């Protein structure tokens, strides 16, 4: 059986909930089945920014087969997203007993270790890590295109296109990589499409740590070094954590 640490590492959404209905679904477009259940979340342990608002909400969990949980059971669910729309559906990676029997310190430690691992991976992939304060933002000049009908064979702009913008960051320090000069241009997606919803939306005055990459979170080319993953911008108060996580890679 997988450990709490392993289950947490494999999951994007970990929460404690009470199972209210078996063989049911409250998500439009996701049919009920013997393995689906409606649960009521009482505590979120690990989450993405997109899912952080689901505390005290009812969602659908697609349970692993064979189903061992019963209506009324309280459990910690280790899950990943399956269906987003009118109602959330997550897929079960595993579960453990609820608060009365679960070692809360172990869960908290596992969640922190998982967050640190994911953050460290993102730091390792970054071309440049800087701290500073963002200025005004504007559409990125390198993302502007001529009208589609003037470019033979050019595909129409997709609803999932990132809508690249840029901001000038006044530098305070360079934590990884090299850069000379008092400022650095940072590209970011201004799109609110689901493909880019979690990407940082940089505003004038944002003061923090910027993890700059030469590819988007989807592996596509960017017009200049960019933040595109929800972990690519952190408030300046997290600088010590950033330095601690960068240290092993530097040694």
How far apart (Å, rounded) are the C-alpha atoms in residues 56 and 42?
A: 5
What local confidence, expressed as pLDDT, does residue 225 receive? 96
58 vs 52, residue with greater confidence: 58
Query: CA angle 156-192-223, nearest 5°?
Result: 60
The per-residue DSSP string of 160-201 comes to T---EEEEEEEEEEEEES---SSEEEEEEE---STTTTTS--
What local confidence, expressed as pLDDT, does residue 237 receive? 94
This prediction's pTM: 0.63
How far apart (Å, rounded) are the C-alpha atoms in residues 39 and 189?
A: 34
Q: Would you place residue 146 in the very low, low, confident or very high pLDDT band (cuts 50, 70, 90)?
A: very low
> At residue 82, does pLDDT exceed 80?
yes
Quick: pLDDT tens for 129-145.
Answer: 999 999 999 999 886 54
The structure tokens listed for 121 are: 């991976």
> At residue 127, does pLDDT exceed 80?
yes
> At residue 235, does pLDDT exceed 80?
yes
80 vs 226, residue with greater confidence: 226
The structure tokens listed for 59 are: 């969602």
Quick: pLDDT tens for 150-199.
Answer: 334 444 445 578 999 999 999 999 999 999 899 999 999 999 887 787 78
What local confidence, expressed as pLDDT, does residue 97 receive? 81
What local confidence, expressed as pLDDT, does residue 200 receive? 92
The whole-chain average pLDDT of the chain stands at 85
Q: Are 33 and 23 in contact (CB under 8 A)?
A: yes
List all residues 6 or more positions away from 191 whose beta carbon is below 8 Å from its beta carbon. 160, 161, 162, 163, 199
What local confidence, expressed as pLDDT, does residue 145 receive? 41
Q: Are 161 and 232 in contact (CB under 8 A)?
A: no
């Amino acid at each position: 059986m997988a450990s709490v640490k392993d289950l947490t590492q494999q999951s994007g959404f970990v929460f404690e909930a009470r199972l209210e209905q078996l063989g049911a679904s409250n998500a439009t477009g996701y049919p009920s089945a013997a393995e689906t259940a409606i649960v009521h979340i009482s505590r979120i342990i690990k989450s993405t920014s997109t899912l952080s608002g689901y505390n005290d909400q009812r969602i659908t969990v697609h349970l692993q087969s064979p189903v061992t949980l019963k209506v009324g059971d309280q459990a910690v669910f280790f899950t990943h997203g399956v269906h987003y729309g009118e109602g959330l559906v997550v897929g079960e990676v595993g579960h453990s007993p609820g608060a009365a029997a679960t070692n809360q310190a172990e869960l908290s430690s596992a969640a922190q270790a998982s967050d640190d691992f994911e953050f460290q991976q993102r730091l390792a992939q970054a071309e440049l890590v800087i701290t500073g304060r963002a200025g005004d933002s504007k559409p990125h000049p390198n993302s502007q295109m001529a009208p589609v009908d003037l470019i033979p064979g050019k595909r129409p702009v997709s609803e999932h296109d990132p809508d690249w913008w840029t901001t000038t960051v006044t530098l305070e320090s360079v934590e990884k990589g090299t850069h000379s000069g008092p400022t650095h241009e940072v590209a970011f997606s201004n799109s609110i499409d689901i493909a880019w919803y979690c990407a940082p939306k940089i505003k004038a005055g944002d003061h923090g740590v910027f993890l700059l990459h030469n590819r988007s979170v989807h592996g596509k080319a960017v017009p200049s070094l960019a933040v595109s993953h929800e972990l690519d911008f952190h408030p300046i108060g997290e600088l010590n954590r950033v330095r601690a996580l960068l240290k092993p890679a530097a040694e």
